[in-house]
């Protein structure tokens, strides 16, 4: 049996065993109150069956008699019922940018590979704590939609989708986000994974709408070292990955300073926007280990739970 | 503005290289698949025009750097209006006078030094690639550099440092003629480094045909304020081999080379550098005098006699030297017949008496300067003859063919033969044997035999030759040389070619002849030394004369210690052990190896090239456990000691025709060139432009960092 190429994704390479072991001790909690169908480890915005008391409410016809707090009712000469905070399962939706720009690679390692590994890690993490996870993989030509599920077969489906997918066509992340707005009514965690190499306004607007619906949004940016450092010092013909036939022939020596200024402004724009709108913005180089970056972020996130 | 290499201006096309490289690099651009179009487009959209103009400026600066460099290599020059019309590059010609008079002046302002300094400053102004020539006028006028490219100033200076002043006069007319015929048609700058000596400039007015409008002449001649010059033109010694403690004479010839009279100039005679005597010399302009000095050396061996004048404007012609060999004693071998054993029959009796007298009355002749042996055998071995300094052949000695052949070989190998023709001479045998053998300086014709103490006799002359030994006899204390009388003598008729008369009788007839034959010499005395019929014993005053005569004869085999310029210097080294090596040295120069040529009686030490200039020279002969320095005087003709300036009218005529720029020093030459802006290179400005453009390009490049 032939060995797969380094650049090719396999089920094993997209979620290696050592990475799974590293993720075994990690947990992903919802920062906001979740809204799920099953009991889980996350706080639900609904009041229901639980042991954690929340507040009293004047009895209304139809309220279960078993929830009447007789001591309080006797003291106030009215009927009051107890309300409890209900725990629920977290619903996580992974929105993956599969546009052709993700094929950007340095030293043979593409941002798409890093994106796939990060997606697989997140899916594994969510399913291991028995929450549900869904996948939306999108580009201008094709969108793959895997509804949320907490079964273990969901991980296989997600990994299979990542392995078989090919980065192609232009960006269409805003389209996917709008589809989520239309299809998903329950609150959950929306994780966006992309290189963000597109006009940001439309995506930012959709993220704001998701937040307005009560979703928590995480934004993972996968960076390519060449794109970040622009290490060229001669004439270069840049051939667009997303638009066939489009190229730019430039002398990179005079351009370099301006390019890096643009890149710095671009990144600063995303960071500023994310901070302003309470979106966790995590950037990850395509040459950095996924599990390390993920564990650092989750540790940070666990420290600020409920904030 | 003109250019030394105008054809290099085609290289300005190289200014297109940066543009070609620009498009070549653009064409060969690296292909990179790129996903970050969004960032790239934003960077290009906002800066595209700025980058475009930056590229244009950078390309322009790079092109200018290349073009300015090309311009610098083409060597832009500022020219006078006249030169601008002629166009083309310039041939620079240096005419360097290497005659003796260039050594005039008081150190460190010797004319030659000032001229060389000016030449060195001049070539420093020239740049790589310029054409130049150098014509050296010395004993062998020649083109040292013939239209070569200047490599750099140091290279030119190294060539200039090889220029030397020689003891020679030069013809500036011939030199200038050669220079004016050199590079005809080109624009020329001729730099004449010569003095204004009238003899040098003779005939220059007739050789100016090659002077054209493209030729510019600079005459650099440091002025001379004092032109009074005395020169020692000759130094002779009465004998080159003298006896220790006996007086000999040195004759110095002095000439006043200036146009002013000189009074009481000091002429010093030195032996081995130590002063032996001083004479005062007063001379009218252009006159020559001969000054003699009696010298006596008490130490045997080779010595150096020098005549030196006090320093004047040309001090290099103020001294001459001559070498002399001082012998401790002379051994004579008298050849006589066995049957002439009487006290007065042969020279041996008289000479033995002389030897005893010179030894202070001692019977031990070895204590005196003269040692006499006699040999009366039939045959005679050559080795016997060569074991003595000189051989005296009595007139009565029977001459056999064998003896004649031996005597001839003896003389050929450097022996000194004294023929004492007394009244017993066999005229026919002498003429028959010695004549064909080349051993007779004069042919004996007849014998005169007058009665002893009679009226007819011959006396030695004091005026026929100037020997100190005879001159001292003039004093009353020593008596009168005229009392030395000869009552028998031989009258000789034909003097052999090359023979010279050493002494004469008072009536003018010859008494002593000298003929040099091969390496040796033969002295013929017209009267015998047997004192049978001559009153040689009357006065001891004849002894010094005879001893000097013997010394001269004994030194026949030695090579002369006074040579001319470029003549071989030779020395015959006798004794054991033979020389292991020899060096020839001339004062002020590095010694060189001399040749050793083994011969029958010793080794000939020789330095064939000789010395190229006058002065004291020496051969250092190295033996196994000792060394010996043999002094020589090198004397050349004083050909360029006259420092008379050319006549003002002649000078004005030349100045008008040659239109020269006349300067006196390096500084004045530089000032003249600066004022004319003549031949001043402007590539300094061009290089500054190169630097400026390169700096601008650097700054532009730094903007992108």
Instruction: Name beta bridge partners: A67.
Output: none
What is the ipTM score, two decimals? 0.78
User: Residue B352, exposed/middle/buried by CB under 10 A (0-12, 13-18, 19+)?
Assistant: buried
Q: CA nearest A122: which of A4, A196, A218, A237? A: A218
Instruction: Report the predicted TM-score, pTM, of the whole model to 2 decimal places.
Output: 0.57
C-alpha separations of B18 from B56, B64, B688 in Å? 11, 10, 20
Question: What is the number of CB-based contacts under 8 A between chain A and chain B?
Answer: 109
Residue B625 has pLDDT above 50, yes or no: yes
**pLDDT tops 80 at residue A88:** no
Contacts with A103 from chain B: Cβ below 8 Å: 33, 35
Check B704 against A234: CB less than 8 A apart: no
Q: What is each CA distance from B104 to B229, B310, B311, B599, B667, in whole angstroms?
A: 9, 14, 11, 45, 20
Instruction: List chain B residues with CB under 8 Å of A241.
Output: 33-35, 37
Which pLDDT does position B235 carry in this prediction? Answer: 94
In Å, how far are A146, A195, A267, B690 from A170, measured between CA atoms?
21, 12, 20, 51
Give the residue from B19, B27, B37 with the most A CB atoms within 10 Å of its CB, the best one to mutate.
B37
For chain A, the residues whose C-beta falls within 8 A of a C-beta of chain B are 100-105, 111, 195, 197-199, 224, 226-227, 232, 234-243, 246, 248-251, 253-259, 261-263, 266
- Which is more confidently placed, B184 or B299? B299
Pairwise pLDDT comparison (B173 vs A42), residue with the higher score? B173
Strand duo A109-110 + A189-194: pairing: unpaired
What's the whole-number mean pLDDT along residues B122-148? 86
**For B44, which of A232, A237, A250 is closest by C-beta distance?**
A250
| Residue in A closest to B703 by C-alpha | A254
Residue B183: pLDDT above 50? yes
B632 vs B245: which has the higher pLDDT? B632
Domains of chain B, start order: 2-79+685-702 (no CATH), 89-224+645-678 (3.40.50.410), 230-327 (2.60.40.10), 330-557 (3.40.50.880), 562-634 (2.60.40)
pLDDT tens per residue across span A122-181: 998 888 877 889 998 887 777 888 888 888 888 888 988 888 877 777 777 888 888 888
What residues of chain A lie within 8 A of the CB of B39, using their CB?
A: 197, 227, 259, 262-263, 266
> Which residues fall within 8 angstroms of residue B215, CB to CB, at 6 or more apart?
B180, B187, B188, B189, B190
Q: Which residues of chain A does B18 touch, with a Cβ-Cβ cutoff of 8 Å?
A: none
Task: For residue B293, give both structure tokens.
Answer: 């000095």
Contact B37 A246 (CB under 8 A): yes
Mutate to test the interface with A, among B19, B26, B36, B50 (most CBs of A within 10 A): B36
In this complex, do B704 and A250 lie within 8 Å of one another by their Cβ atoms? Answer: no
From A228, which residue of chain B is nearest by alpha-carbon distance? B36
**Which range, of A35-39, A154-158, A258-262, B22-26, averages the lowest pLDDT?**
A35-39
Say if residues B365 and B372 touch (Cβ distance below 8 Å). yes
Domains and CATH numbers, chain A: 11-35+90-303 (3.40.50.410), 42-88 (no CATH)
Minimum mean pLDDT range among B110-119, B647-656, B672-681: B672-681
pLDDT tens-digit profile of B62-98? 888 888 888 888 877 665 433 333 344 678 899 999 9
pLDDT class for B496, splitting at 50, 70, 90?
Answer: confident
Cβ–Cβ gap A102/B36 under 8 Å: no
Q: Does B656 touch chain A (CB under 8 A)?
A: no
- At residue B304, the pLDDT reads 94
How much of chain B, in percent, has pLDDT values that exceed 70? 90
**Which position has the higher pLDDT, A12 or B156?**
B156
Range in A209-218, A261-270, B614-623 with the lowest mean pLDDT:
A209-218
pLDDT tens digits along B389-430: 899 998 888 888 889 999 999 998 888 999 998 888 888 888
Calculate mean pLDDT across residues A109-125. Answer: 89
| A227 to B46: CB separation less than 8 angstroms, yes or no | no
Q: Tell me the average pLDDT across B508-514.
A: 87
Distance from CA of A236 to the nearest CA of B (A): 5
Is residue B704 less than 8 Å (CB to CB) from chain A? yes
A34-43, B83-92, B423-432, B627-636: which has the minimum mean pLDDT?
A: A34-43
Residues for chain B: how many in total? 705
pLDDT at B661 over 60: yes
Q: Is B59 on the interface with A (CB under 8 A)?
A: no
| pLDDT tier at B539, thresholds 50, 70, 90 | low
Distance CA A104, CA B35 (A): 5
What token pair was written down for B94? 């240096």
Q: What is the mean pLDDT of residues A209-236?
A: 89
Contacts of B358-367 with CB under 8 Å at 24 or more apart are B358/B543, B358/B547
Identify the band that residue B9 occupies on the pLDDT scale cut at 50, 70 and 90: confident
| Closest Cβ opposite residue B37 in set A102, A240, A263 | A240
- pLDDT of res. B125: 76
Is the pLDDT at A10 greater than 80? The verdict is no
User: Is B29 near chain A, with CB under 8 Å?
Assistant: yes
Residues of chain B contacting residue A100, judged by C-beta atoms under 8 Å apart: 35
**Closest CA in chain A for residue B32:** A238
Per-residue pLDDT at A16: 79
Average pLDDT across chain B, whole number: 83
The reply to whether residue B34 touches residue A104, judged by beta carbons under 8 angstroms, is yes
Cβ-defined contact of A111 to B51 (cutoff 8 Å): no
CB-based contact A58:A78 (threshold 8 Å): yes
Place A85 in a pLDDT band, splitting at 50, 70 and 90: low
Give the pLDDT of residue A273: 94
Is the minimum CB–CB distance between B37 and chain A shorter than 8 Å? yes
């Amino acid at each position: 049996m032939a060995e797969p190429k380094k650049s090719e994704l396999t089920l094993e390479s997209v979620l290696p065993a050592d990475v799974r072991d590293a993720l075994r001790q990690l947990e992903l909690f919802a920062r906001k109150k979740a809204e799920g169908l099953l009991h889980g480890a996350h706080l639900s915005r609904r009041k229901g069956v639980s042991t954690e008391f929340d507040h009293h409410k004047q009895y209304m016809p139809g309220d279960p008699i078993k929830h009447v707090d007789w001591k309080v009712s006797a003291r106030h000469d009215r009927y009051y019922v107890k309300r409890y905070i209900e725990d629920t399962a977290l619903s996580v939706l992974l929105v993956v940018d599969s546009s052709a720009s993700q094929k950007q690679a340095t030293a043979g390692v593409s941002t798409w590979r890093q994106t796939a590994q990060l997606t697989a890690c997140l899916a594994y993490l969510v399913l291991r704590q028995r929450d549900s996870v869904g996948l939306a993989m999108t580009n201008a030509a094709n969108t793959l939609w895997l509804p949320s599920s907490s079964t273990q077969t969901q991980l296989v489906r997600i990994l299979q989708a990542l392995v078989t997918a090919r980065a192609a066509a232009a960006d269409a992340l805003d389209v996917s986000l709008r589809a989520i707005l239309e299809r998903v009514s329950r609150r959950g965690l929306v994780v966006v994974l992309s290189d963000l190499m597109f006009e940001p306004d439309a995506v930012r607007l959709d993220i704001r709408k998701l937040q307005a619906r009560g979703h928590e949004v995480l934004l993972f940016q996968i960076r390519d070292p060449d794109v970040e450092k622009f290490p060229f010092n001669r004439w270069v013909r840049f051939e667009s990955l997303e638009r066939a036939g489009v190229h730019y022939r430039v002398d990179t020596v005079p351009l370099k300073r301006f390019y890096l200024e643009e890149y710095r402004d671009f990144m600063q724009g995303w960071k500023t926007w994310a901070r302003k709108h309470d979106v966790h913005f995590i950037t990850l180089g395509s040459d950095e280990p996924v599990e390390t970056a993920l564990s650092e972020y989750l540790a940070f996130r666990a420290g600020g739970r409920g904030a | 503005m003109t250019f030394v290499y105008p054809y290099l201006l085609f290289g300005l096309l190289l200014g297109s290289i940066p543009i070609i490289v620009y498009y070549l690099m653009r064409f060969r651009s690296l292909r990179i698949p790129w996903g970050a179009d969004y960032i790239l487009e934003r960077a290009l959209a906002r800066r595209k025009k700025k980058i475009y103009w930056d590229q244009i400026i950078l390309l322009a600066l790079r092109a200018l750097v290349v073009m300015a460099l090309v311009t610098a290599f083409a060597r832009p020059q500022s020219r006078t209006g006249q030169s601008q019309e002629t166009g083309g590059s310039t041939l620079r010609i240096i005419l360097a006078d290497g005659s003796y008079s260039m050594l005039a002046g008081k150190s460190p302002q010797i004319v030659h030094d000032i001229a060389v300094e000016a030449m060195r400053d001049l070539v420093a102004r020239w740049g790589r690639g310029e054409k130049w020539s150098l014509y050296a006028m010395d004993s062998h006028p020649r083109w040292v550099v013939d239209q070569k490219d200047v490599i750099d100033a140091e290279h030119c200076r190294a060539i200039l440092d090889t220029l030397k002043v020689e003891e020679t006069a030069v013809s500036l007319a011939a030199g200038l003629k050669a220079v004016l015929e050199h590079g005809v048609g080109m624009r020329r700058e001729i730099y004449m480094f010569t003095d204004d000596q009238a003899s040098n400039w003779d005939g220059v007015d007739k050789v100016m045909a090659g002077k054209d409008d493209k030729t510019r002449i600079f005459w650099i001649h440091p002025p001379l304020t004092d032109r009074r010059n005395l020169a020692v033109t000759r130094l002779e010694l009465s004998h080159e081999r003298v006896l220790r403690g006996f007086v000999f004479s040195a004759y110095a010839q002095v000439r006043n080379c200036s146009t002013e009279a000189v009074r009481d100039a000091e002429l010093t005679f030195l032996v081995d550098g130590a002063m032996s005597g001083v004479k005062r010399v007063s001379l009218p302009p252009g006159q020559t005098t001969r000054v003699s000095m009696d010298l006596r050396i008490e130490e045997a061996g080779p010595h150096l006699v020098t005549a030196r004048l006090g320093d004047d404007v040309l001090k290099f012609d103020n001294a001459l030297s001559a070498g002399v060999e001082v012998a401790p004693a002379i051994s004579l071998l008298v050849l006589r017949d066995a049957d002439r054993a009487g006290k007065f029959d042969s020279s041996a009796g008289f000479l033995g008496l002389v030897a005893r007298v010179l030894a202070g009355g001692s019977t031990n002749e070895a204590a005196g300067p003269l040692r006499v042996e006699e040999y009366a055998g039939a045959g005679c071995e050559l080795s016997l003859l060569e074991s003595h300094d000189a051989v005296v052949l009595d007139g009565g000695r029977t001459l056999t063919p064998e003896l004649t052949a031996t005597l001839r070989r003896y003389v050929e190998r450097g022996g000194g033969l004294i023929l004492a023709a007394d009244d017993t001479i066999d005229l026919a045998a002498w003429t028959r044997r010695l004549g064909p053998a080349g051993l007779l300086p004069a042919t004996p014709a007849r014998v005169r035999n007058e009665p002893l103490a009679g009226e007819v006799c011959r006396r030695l002359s004091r005026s026929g030759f100037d020997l100190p030994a005879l001159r001292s006899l003039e004093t009353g204390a020593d008596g009168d040389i005229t009392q030395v009388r000869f009552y028998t003598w031989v009258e000789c008729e034909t003097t052999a070619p090359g023979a010279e008369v050493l002494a004469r009788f008072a009536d003018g007839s010859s008494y002593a002849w000298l003929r040099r034959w091969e390496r040796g010499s033969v002295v013929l005395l017209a009267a015998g030394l047997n004192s049978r019929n001559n009153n040689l014993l009357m006065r001891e005053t004849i002894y010094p004369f005879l001893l000097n005569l013997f010394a001269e004869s004994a030194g026949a085999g030695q090579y002369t210690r006074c040579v001319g310029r470029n003549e071989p210097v030779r020395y015959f080294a006798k004794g054991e052990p033979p020389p292991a090596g020899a060096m020839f040295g001339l004062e002020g120069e590095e010694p060189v190896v001399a040749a050793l040529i083994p011969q029958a009686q010793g080794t000939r030490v020789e330095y064939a090239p000789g010395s190229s200039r006058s002065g004291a020279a020496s051969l250092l002969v190295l033996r196994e456990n000792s060394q010996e320095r043999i002094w020589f005087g090198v004397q050349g003709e004083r050909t360029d000691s006259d420092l008379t300036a050319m006549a003002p009218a002649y000078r004005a005529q030349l100045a008008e025709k040659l239109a020269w720029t006349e300067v006196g020093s390096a500084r004045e030459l530089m000032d003249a060139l600066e004022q004319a802006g003549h031949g001043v290179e402007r590539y300094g400005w061009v290089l500054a432009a190169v630097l400026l453009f390169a700096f601008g390009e650097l700054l532009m490049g730094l903007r992108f960092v």
